[in-house]
A and B are shown apart, each in its own frame.
Chain A
Amino acid sequence: MPFDAMITRLALKPLALSACLALSALSANASQIFVSNERDNTVTVLDSATLALVKTITVGTRPRGIVISPDGREVLVCNGDSDNISVIDASTLEVSRTIDSGPDPETLALSPKGDVIYVSNENDSMVTLLDRGAGTVLARVPVGIEPEGLAVSADNKTVVDVSESTSMAHFIDVATRAVIANVLVDTRPRVAEYSRDGHDVWVTSEVGGTVAVIDASSHQVAHKIAFDIPGVRQELISPVGLRFSLDGRLAFVALGRANRVAVIETATFKVVKYLLVGDRVWQLALSPDGRTLYATNGLTNDLSVIDVVDLKTIRSVPVGRLPWGLVIKP
């Protein structure tokens, strides 16, 4: 290389370097979507802005439930057949450690502060409470068969677990670690979610085809929401994932094999729209600004992107095989 050319390059370097730094800072701050792929044993990371693939991270066997810590630093994934939780460093996108979870963890939830992990142990009918930092077991609470979805109240006083094969929502008192109420819902409940105001717990029933709205204090089913989609057979309507809009006015329910997301007005419990998505839509996640909803489609191996303002499905993006759950890093 000629001497003068080298001088030029050296002179340019500081500029190029700073541009580079700016770029990397940008990408480090960009919102990312983490999708657990049950059959690939991976987590797909997508850039939220471009929906381009950032990385595919290998985790344990049969990853399903996935959450992100309140500070956005760690993504935790349940590996059902490895009996543990992979902890992904959200900045390096590497698995930094694994935590023993007890047998067959299907889903997990975090306390509002992020210090306690609640895990559904599907094969032995338990909810395990783990210390997130130390990875140690704090308690194991017996619940119904095939515990699945977990919801934590904003004050961290109550954890709601639904057991699929018992068809109940179990209200667990965190302080005493005891079940204080068992609420019978329709067949195969999948997901529980506190309403934004904390007044109710909404529970989806996959085989029953309904959503139960349970009063969080009286533990009574206050409302039951059914779905009727013209041209779609009733037995295909299988509600699973559920999320509320940021303002709490709308609830979104993934209807499984009906290949639609239902939009429900929470004030009236009326379905206002059905959004067509991919095959066997499973779980949902809302972007931090509340403007975009993402849905994993288990059988088409993709992610549907829904505009929450216009209530329209705007894109689909391929991910891994049998995508199950997802979280968004702000």
Chain B
Amino acid sequence: MRKVQARTCVRAWTAASLFALCVSLRGGSAVAETAVQASQLDAGKVIHILYLAGDDPKASFLSLLQNQPDDEGEAGASLALDEVNLTGRFIGLHYTLDVVHLHGHSDLAAQTRPLLSTSKLIVAALTAPDLLTIASMPEAVDAVILDIGSSDDRLRQEQCRRNVFHLLPSIAMRSDALAQYLMKKRWARWLVLRGPSAEDQAWADDLHRSAARFGGKIVEDRLYSYDAGSRRVDTGYQQIQTQLPLATANAPSHDIVIVADTADFFGDYLPYNTTEPRPVAGTQGLVPVAWHPAFQEYSALQMQHRFELAAHRTMNERDYAGWLAIRAIGEASIRSGKTETADLGAFMRSKAFELAGFKGQAMTFRPWDQQLRQPVLLASALMVVSLSPQEGYLHPKFLTDTLGFDEPETKCHLTP
């Protein structure tokens, strides 16, 4: 009887130096030490996964309680790698994960090209422009790229690519998830306050779309461009108490303030500072997310425990997307028995593919834009308030297709 050779390796590379660091992961290795039946070890089949992390500045937040972990996304992927290897050892499959941190944004294709010669199975924690650059390379035509970094609608619409699958909900899905809940609450009159960036504008555009779809009324769409200068300043409260009531004053009657501030310049200052006593939702306040560390339904509590044991912190939606991406690869290979990238992509597109992600239902990719169908959580800082789609929003095929761009309205036509 052999011992399992399952020292799970995550090689951390930088594209410039190709410096390799091999780390033995906890969890999977502890199990692997135990002697297992030889029949389980008829290995040989290895699936190499490439994880591309973009070179982006860390997000900054108004609250000291919020921060972007250095291993965001990666931590979820690492945990899932342990898991698929644990399952894989029963059927002779092994998975490796090479994590590569890209440098800058100018020569991404040059940095990525040599990597694509070893693996075309890619988990991409990239911004939308970087993702498009890489997905459009000729060498990536037959790649399977699992997007865990972007919620940009354009990647699911005009700019969609057959080699890209999206794990996170699009902004349109998030906006629809929020809108359904607000209509359920009969909070139909929305005051939209948006920041100056193109991303903020995109969010606000989706709010208009959701209002039209579900019967909400945007009483005013207001641009808020005040630059608070240095954030978290010691004179902050006085300024905030002056500025934010002004920003929300003299608006038509509204039930809720919906904020579109993707960079968190002012959104987190809004609750309790609005002129009218109104709740706040959108990019801050009640937020639509794929995952939340307080989510515990549908065995999610188990996932939270497992992640915290492995990563020593709570799980955010990027970690969840990283976890989903690796589990999608695991599911596709274990169910199909195949290991070639093209075959795994074909299986993910097929009706046989189902991904369990602690949301009480099997999740699948929409064939027209390869967006993962999924319920969206509506959460405050500490609590999950609701889960959309809301009851009563019907769809002939999938209730989750009431969120985002459905087949009849899509501008992306990848359906074979």
B is a partner of A: yes
Q: Are B334 and A235 in contact (CB under 8 A)?
A: no
Q: Which of A71-79, A86-94, A162-170 contacts B (4 or more CB under 8 A)?
A: A162-170
Contact of B86 among A145, A209, A235, A238 (CB under 8 A): A145
CA–CA, A209 and B364, complex, Å: 14
User: Are A208 and B302 also in contact (CB < 8 A) when A142-B36, A168-B87 are?
Assistant: no
24 pairs, CB–CB < 8 Å, chain A vs chain B: A125-B31, A125-B86, A140-B34, A142-B31, A144-B87, A144-B90, A145-B86, A146-B302, A165-B83, A165-B87, A165-B356, A168-B90, A179-B37, A179-B40, A180-B37, A184-B334, A184-B335, A207-B354, A207-B360, A207-B361, A208-B362, A235-B398, A236-B361, A238-B361
**Is B91 at the interface (CB under 8 A from chain A)?**
yes
Q: Are A166 and B362 in contact (CB under 8 A)?
A: no
Contacts of B306 in A (CB 8 A): 123
CA–CA, A47 and B90, complex, Å: 45
CA–CA, A180 and B36, complex, Å: 10
What's the minimum C-beta distance from B223 to chain A, rounded to whole angstroms?
Answer: 40
Chain B positions 336 through 379: 1 when the CB is less than 8 Å from some CB of chain A, otherwise 0: 00000000000000000011100011100000000000000000
List B residues 185-202 near A (Cβ within 8 Å). none
**Is A104 at the interface (CB under 8 A from chain B)?**
yes
**Is B399 at the interface (CB under 8 A from chain A)?**
yes
Contact of B87 among A126, A140, A166, A235 (CB under 8 A): A166
Contacts of A9 in B (CB 8 A): none
Of listed B27, B37, B91, B361, residue having the most chain A CB within 10 A = B361
Contacts of B90 in A (CB 8 A): 144, 166, 168, 170, 179, 182
Q: Are A188 and B31 in contact (CB under 8 A)?
A: no
Contacts of A178 in B (CB 8 A): 36-37
CA–CA, A124 and B34, complex, Å: 13
Q: How many residues of B contact A (CB 8 A)?
A: 28
Contacts of A208 in B (CB 8 A): 354, 362
**Is B64 at the interface (CB under 8 A from chain A)?**
no
Considering the complex, give the chain A residue whose CB is closest to the CB of B364.
Answer: A235
Contacts of B86 in A (CB 8 A): 125, 144-145, 166
**Is B309 at the interface (CB under 8 A from chain A)?**
yes
**Is B133 at the interface (CB under 8 A from chain A)?**
no
List B residues 48-100 near A (Cβ within 8 Å). 83, 86-87, 90-91
Contacts of A238 in B (CB 8 A): 360-361
Chain A positions 112 through 151: 1 when the CB is less than 8 Å from some CB of chain B, otherwise 0: 0000000000111110000000000000101011100000
Contacts of B362 in A (CB 8 A): 187, 207-209, 235
What's the minimum C-beta distance from A263 to chain B, rounded to whole angstroms?
Answer: 24
**Is B16 at the interface (CB under 8 A from chain A)?**
no
Of listed A164, A165, A209, residue having the most chain B CB within 10 A = A165
What's the minimum C-beta distance from B403 to chain A, rounded to whole angstroms?
Answer: 14
**Is A329 at the interface (CB under 8 A from chain B)?**
no
What's the minimum C-beta distance from A232 to chain B, rounded to whole angstroms?
Answer: 12
Q: A124-B27, A144-B87, A164-B299 given; name 14 further pairs at CB < 8 Å.
A: A122-B302, A123-B309, A126-B31, A142-B31, A142-B34, A145-B83, A166-B87, A166-B90, A168-B90, A179-B90, A180-B37, A186-B354, A187-B355, A207-B361
Contacts of A180 in B (CB 8 A): 37
**Is A257 at the interface (CB under 8 A from chain B)?**
yes
What's the minimum C-beta distance from A60 to chain B, rounded to whole angstroms?
Answer: 15
Q: How many residues of A contact B (CB 8 A)?
A: 33
Query: How many residue pairs, one in A and one in B, have C-beta atoms under 8 Å apart?
Result: 75
CA–CA, A146 and B302, complex, Å: 8
CA–CA, A168 and B86, complex, Å: 12
**Is B305 at the interface (CB under 8 A from chain A)?**
yes
Contact of B354 among A170, A187, A233 (CB under 8 A): A187
Of listed A126, A144, A164, A170, residue having the most chain B CB within 10 A = A144
Chain A positions 280 through 321: 1 when the CB is less than 8 Å from some CB of chain B, otherwise 0: 000000000000000000000000000000000000000000
User: Which A residues are within 8 Å of any B CB, using their own CB?
Assistant: 104, 122-126, 140, 142, 144-146, 164-168, 170, 178-180, 182, 184, 186-188, 207-209, 233, 235-236, 238, 257
What's the minimum C-beta distance from B278 to chain A, rounded to whole angstroms?
Answer: 31
Contacts of A179 in B (CB 8 A): 36-37, 40, 90
What's the minimum C-beta distance from A239 to chain B, rounded to whole angstroms?
Answer: 13
Q: Are B354 and A104 in contact (CB under 8 A)?
A: no
Considering the complex, give the chain B residue whose CB is closest to the CB of A237.
Answer: B361
Contact of A188 among B36, B91, B356 (CB under 8 A): B356
CA–CA, A144 and B399, complex, Å: 31
Chain B positions 20 through 45: 1 when the CB is less than 8 Å from some CB of chain A, otherwise 0: 00000001001100101100100000
Contacts of A236 in B (CB 8 A): 361
CA–CA, A144 and B91, complex, Å: 12
Considering the complex, give the chain B residue whose CB is closest to the CB of A280.
Answer: B360
CA–CA, A165 and B305, complex, Å: 14
**Across the A-B interface, the 4 shortest Cβ-Cβ residue pairs:** A235-B361, A182-B90, A166-B87, A207-B356
What's the minimum C-beta distance from A122 to chain B, rounded to whole angstroms?
Answer: 6
Contacts of B36 in A (CB 8 A): 142, 178-179
List B residues 305-335 near A (Cβ within 8 Å). 305-306, 309, 331, 334-335
Contacts of B40 in A (CB 8 A): 179, 182
CA–CA, A292 and B128, complex, Å: 58
Q: Are A184 and B91 in contact (CB under 8 A)?
A: yes
Contacts of A168 in B (CB 8 A): 87, 90
